[in-house]
Structure 1
Amino acid sequence: MKMTLMVCSGDPEVVWNAFRMGNLMLEQMDDVTMFLNGPSVQYEQLSSETFPLMELARVFTLSEGVLLA
């Protein structure tokens, strides 16, 4: 199944949950594209110890998820 996630929030927790959901869908063998829009494009700057966005984004792309910003 092909899935697209659109994220347009600057809240680190929202972006973190979107990456977690995308990674879960990739584990289930779905084709996943994540489109970052607005403040979510700055996910690298939103990354922290509490919300390790860089690590989740790395796993997402290495698992063949498509990340568009």
Structure 2
Amino acid sequence: MQFITEIYNNIPSMKIGIILSNTDPEVVWNALRFANTAMLEEHEVKVFLLGQGVEIERIKDEKFNVKEQLEKLNHLGGTMLACGTCIKSRNMHFEVCPISTMKDMLKMVIESDRVLTF
């Protein structure tokens, strides 16, 4: 077991990009928990909200507290961006994070060591 711990401790810090295009409370909650875990392990995390993902503020669920995970991500210094076109197509007012473009998402993907989609 010590060997595994030594290997894990020698993993360099990564830049992790997360594309979140879902509103299922459990999926979003788990994506944010992963982001927060990565932040606590000193990895850099950027989350890009795309499609339905821009509706993240509307997710309310007693079992899967998305708001709590969002607050934790913000507290830990994670970066969140949201697709402006997706927000406009829903006639939404958005306050969680900066409104962004596909170029911003492309930049996140290029700069990331790993990209996950939820």
Provide the C-alpha distance between the structure 1 equivalents of 2:50 and 2:17, rounded to a whole number of angstroms: 13
Aligned partner of residue 68 in structure 2, secondary structure: helix
1:32 aligns with 2:45: yes
CA displacement, residues 13-58 of structure 1 (integer Å, 9 cap, x when unaligned): 1111100000000010000001111111111211221111111001
User: Aligned ranges for residues 39-54 of structure 1 at < 5 Å?
Assistant: 39-54=52-67
TM-score by length of 2: 0.56
- Once the two structures are aligned, what percentage of the paired residues are identical? 35
CA shift, 1:62, in A, is: 0.9
Aligned partner of residue 13 in structure 1, secondary structure: helix
User: Aligned ranges for residues 1-69 of structure 1 at < 5 Å?
Assistant: 1-69=14-82
Unaligned 5+ segments in structure 2 are 1-13, 83-118
Aligned partner of residue 3 in structure 1, secondary structure: strand
Aligned partner of residue 47 in structure 1, secondary structure: coil
Provide the C-alpha distance between the structure 1 equivalents of 2:21 and 2:80, rounded to a whole number of angstroms: 13
Provide the C-alpha distance between the structure 1 equivalents of 2:17 and 2:41, rounded to a whole number of angstroms: 15
Q: Which has the larger radius of gyration?
A: 2
Unaligned 5+ segments in structure 1 are none
Q: Structure 1 stretches (4+) deviating beyond 6 angstroms?
A: none
RMSD between superposed Cα atoms in Å: 0.9
TM-score by length of 1: 0.92
